[in-house]
Amino acid sequence: MISEKMYELGAKSSVIREIFEYGKKRKAEIGADNVYDYSLGNPSVPAPESVNEAIRELTLNMNSCDLHGYTSAVGDNGTRQAIADDLNKRFGTSFGMHNFYMTCGAAASLCITFRALAEKDDEIIIFAPYFPEYKVFISSQGATPVEVKCDADTLQIDLDRFEKAITKNTKAVVVNSPNNPSGVVLSEDTVKGMCEILKRKQAEYGKPIFIISDEPYRELVYDGVKVPFLTKYYDNTIVCYSYSKSLSLPGDRIGYILVPDEVADFELIYKAVCGAGRSLGYVCAPSMMQFVIRKCVGQTGDISVYKHNRDLLVNAFNEYGFKVAKPDGAFYLFMKSPEEDAVAFCEKAKKYELLLVPSDSFGFPGYVRLSYCVSTAMIEKSLPSFKALSEEYNLI
Amino acid sequence: MISEKMYELGAKSSVIREIFEYGKKRKAEIGADNVYDYSLGNPSVPAPESVNEAIRELTLNMNSCDLHGYTSAVGDNGTRQAIADDLNKRFGTSFGMHNFYMTCGAAASLCITFRALAEKDDEIIIFAPYFPEYKVFISSQGATPVEVKCDADTLQIDLDRFEKAITKNTKAVVVNSPNNPSGVVLSEDTVKGMCEILKRKQAEYGKPIFIISDEPYRELVYDGVKVPFLTKYYDNTIVCYSYSKSLSLPGDRIGYILVPDEVADFELIYKAVCGAGRSLGYVCAPSMMQFVIRKCVGQTGDISVYKHNRDLLVNAFNEYGFKVAKPDGAFYLFMKSPEEDAVAFCEKAKKYELLLVPSDSFGFPGYVRLSYCVSTAMIEKSLPSFKALSEEYNLI
């Protein structure tokens, strides 16, 4: 009577969701302050005040029919030019507004890009650990996700495994750096190695293989770490961006797809992106938020809060004997489970009111993800629980 | 290298878009005031001032992480309850928040609903004249659109043709009243006749056939005309709504899907809607706009402007001998072309700087659509052009 597949997608809660629901119940029982919920990747830093100021100013000074009216499907020209100018200044690129297609956030950017590219039998490579929705988005747009495990020590791309996974059906590879769930930033060496393999494989198969760079965490890096900007390393790079994390606007659904001129058959790809947006029901990206971005491009929320949170946790974990992947960016820590079964470890953690996400659904068992986009006070209060958990495992 | 289908969708401009581009060029040549552009369905009435006030108030008084944060995928509870309360008050229904799924506007509502329902070989009936994107949305979500022509005199549903078009593969029928492009409101007799046929056919095939009621123009009716609220006539009705027209917020992308309890297997359908939204990349409807709707539900822009525009045109057309379909709602007039070829008629109209849309792409040749969501001043200034056009055809 209905699409079984859609029912399953709607009915099956994600693990993260289940933990979140458990947390809600537990908070009701023992008080919100006594539950240490590290499950959700929802920015805890407010949007910069300039965002709300821009919104108020627009509602006072811009014609309502323009502010709230349709923009063209590709997005407002001024907004797209402002984004191009900002990236050009920061990365020495030379994008124009014609390279941008405004979207309703990262999930829309990805779905539209997958849909634009996917032909029958296409495979799209994702690196584990990965954001679980990648598999949903890729399958739903008609391609097949192919998992390649990262190096277990560094969580950088395992280049040998990567090369072996590429076939004549490989249409694209999704790169997510800084990474959700690991917080790892791909090194320049990794990026260069990956691009070299891709160039060789493109030549071998006589067809383009695209990098789809999903980079909502691009600006969330600490201690001066540099995130290689992929369009500068590889021509066939399509960037999917969202302001959800950098401007703390996840609910407002605003982002873009960037198709550089250097991409093979730029015109074809850009038009296919437009067609895919249309076929998925995205008429235009939210107009008022587009005008806000035009005013606030290049800004971020107060990222120092995340760095402080990260340092608090990393220092404590070093002391308690927990091992985490090199935590250069995003607002996640990826901790090695002290026992093989991360689900069992998370159950034990619950006894100390610590809510962690086992890494199984990220395609990389044996770890847990902690989202440190939480209040610093919660982190401080939770440290004795981590210490007790460490003692249970005799880690120190 | 890419999806051919998506390329075609992106590359092929719609007829309306072409006319719009022609209009832009022409305005640059002879001045914007001298071109009478009736091509676009973009609200010309500003959003009620309460919308901008609500936005400002929210930015001042609501916590930023809540205002701009993710809502749950189905939408904010308070918003959904406010919408339920408003409909219950107006239509004597008894919806709860659990019946609503908030969306990024009407196109998203439709795509998600089609995707939730569509199984292999499914057919979805649309009535011509229709909004051309229906065919794109239905095909893209995996079903086949089946066209049924309305009665040429009344533009109501031709019930005989409708009954004959229903097969064992018919999954749903899309109803759009008030209608784009015709402005016609389905009479209660038509609605009752349609529902009776559907009930009979459901029994015959032993399976539900859904009405998908696409009603962004629900509140845009004139002279006290009543739009039958379809959930009261037929249990298996799913409503797709958008605030684009009633609140003049088309760019902000906010609407909902309403699945009443009475729908066969409510739980299944609602979950499939959730899954379809997920698979298309709709994480949640824009959060701040959800909170705005919570405050402004039940309001509209100043619709009397549209009525005034309509009356001006209808009176003039009566005088000049042009025939239009009964123009009870939306902001469109559907005029019979005085020659068989509406495209040729539109070309002649251009000589008088009148930009009209030929009805061929609406699946109903021989007519033109006029959007009267334009300034009253433009209408007044354009009347001599219509008169001259009428004289060219010796209509009076």
The percent of residues above 90 in pLDDT, for chain A, comes to 96
pTM, to two decimals: 0.97
Query: Do A280 and A309 sit in the same domain of this protein?
Result: no
- Which residue of A280, A302, A331 is the best one to mutate when testing the B interface, meaning the one whose CB has the most B CBs within 10 A? A280
Closest residue to B251, CB basis, from A264, A279, A284: A284
- Claim to verify: residue A271 and residue A344 sit in the same structural domain: no
Q: Which residues contact A31 (CB under 8 A, 6 or more apart)?
A: none
Same domain, B29 and B68: no
Report d(CA B252, CA B269) in Å as an integer: 27
Q: Considering A272, A296, A320, which residue would you say is the last residue of a domain?
A: A296
Residues in chain B within 8 Å Cβ distance of A269: 2
pLDDT, one tens digit per residue, over A232-274 is 999 999 999 999 999 999 999 999 999 999 999 999 999 999 9
Q: Is residue B53 part of a domain?
A: no
Q: Is A91 within 8 Å of chain B by CB?
A: no
For residues A222 and A352, membership in a common domain is answered with: no
Q: How far is CA B51 from CA A127, B62, B198, B292, B301, in A?
A: 44, 16, 40, 7, 10
| DSSP state, residue A186 | P
Task: Establish if B68 belongs to a structural domain.
Answer: yes
Q: B223 is written with which tokens?
A: 């002279």
Strand B255-258 with B100-103, pairing? antiparallel
B384 belongs to a structural domain: yes
The string of pLDDT tens digits covering residues A38-49 is: 998 889 999 999
Number of separate domains in chain A: 2
CA distance A276 to chain B (A): 5
Name the residue range of residue B203's domain.
63-296
Are residues B117 and B197 part of one domain? yes
Report yes or no: A257 and A109 within 8 Å, Cβ to Cβ: yes
Nearest to A281 among B69, B111, B283 (CB): B111
Chain A interface includes B61 (CB < 8 A): no
Rounded Cα gap, residues A57 and A205, in angstroms:
53
Q: Chain A neighbours among B 197-216 (CB < 8 Å)?
A: 207-208
Do A173 and A195 reside in the same domain of the chain? yes
Asked if A286 lies within 8 A of B8 by C-beta distance, the reply is no
Strand partners, A211: A173, A237
- CA B159, distance to chain mean position in Å, is 21
Domain membership of residue B205 (yes or no) is yes
Task: For chain A, positions 336-375, list CB contacts with chain B under 8 A.
Answer: none
Helices (H), chain A: 4-11, 15-30, 49-61, 64-67, 77-91, 106-117, 133-140, 159-165, 188-205, 266-279, 287-296, 304-320, 342-351, 376-392
Most A CBs within 10 Å, among B72, B134, B263, B280, to test the A interface: B280
- CATH code of the domain covering residue A21: 3.90.1150.10
Spatial separation of the C-alpha atoms in residues A134 and A238, rounded to whole Å:
16
Q: State the helix-helix crossing angle for A133-140 and A106-117, rounded to 10 degrees.
A: 40
Same domain, B216 and B105: yes
CATH of the domain at B166: 3.40.640.10
Residues B287 and B249 in one domain: yes
Question: Is-contact B227 B190, C-beta < 8 A?
Answer: no
Residue B136 sits in the same domain as residue B120: yes
- Does the beta-carbon distance from A104 to B105 stay under 8 Å? no
Considering the domain boundaries, does residue B55 fall inside one? Answer: no
Rounded to a whole number of angstroms, the distance between the first and last alpha carbons of chain A is: 57
Same domain flag for A371 and A238: no
- Domain membership flag for residue B52: no
Along the 396 residues of chain A, how does pLDDT read in single tens digits? 889 999 999 998 778 878 988 998 999 999 999 999 999 888 999 999 999 999 999 999 999 999 999 999 999 999 999 999 999 999 999 999 999 999 999 999 999 999 999 999 999 999 999 999 999 999 999 999 999 999 999 999 999 999 999 999 999 999 999 999 999 999 999 999 999 999 999 999 999 999 999 999 999 999 999 999 999 999 999 999 999 999 999 999 999 999 999 999 999 999 999 999 999 999 999 999 999 999 999 999 999 999 999 999 999 999 999 999 989 999 999 999 999 999 999 999 999 999 999 999 999 999 999 999 999 999 999 999 999 999 999 998
Instruction: Report the C-alpha gap between A310 and A333 in whole angstroms.
Output: 8
Question: What pairing do the DSSP bridges indicate for beta strands A144-149 and A123-128?
Answer: parallel
B237-291 per-position pLDDT tens digit: 999 999 999 999 999 999 999 999 999 999 999 999 999 999 999 999 999 999 9
B184 inside domain: yes
Give A163-175 as a DSSP string: HHH--TTEEEEEE
Where a domain ends, among A271, A296, A321? Answer: A296
Whether B286 has its CB under 8 Å from any CB of chain A: the answer is yes
Residue B389 DSSP code:
H
- Pick B287's closest partner by Cβ from A117, A252, A278: A252
Cβ contacts (< 8 Å) between B281 and chain A: which residues?
104, 107-108, 110-112, 137, 280
A281 contact residues in B (CB cutoff 8 A): 104, 107-108, 110-112, 137, 280
Cβ–Cβ < 8 Å for A190, A150: no
State whether B376 and B239 are in the same domain: no
Q: Quick check: ipTM above 0.90?
A: yes
Q: What's the DSSP call for residue A207?
A: S
Measured between beta carbons, which residues in chain B are less than 8 angstroms from residue A105?
Answer: 283
Query: Which residues of chain B neighbour A71 with C-beta distances below 8 Å?
Result: 251
Q: Is residue B244 part of a domain?
A: yes
Domain's final residue, options B296, B321, B343 = B296
Please indicate, yes or no, whether residues A63 and A201 belong to a single structural domain of this protein.
yes
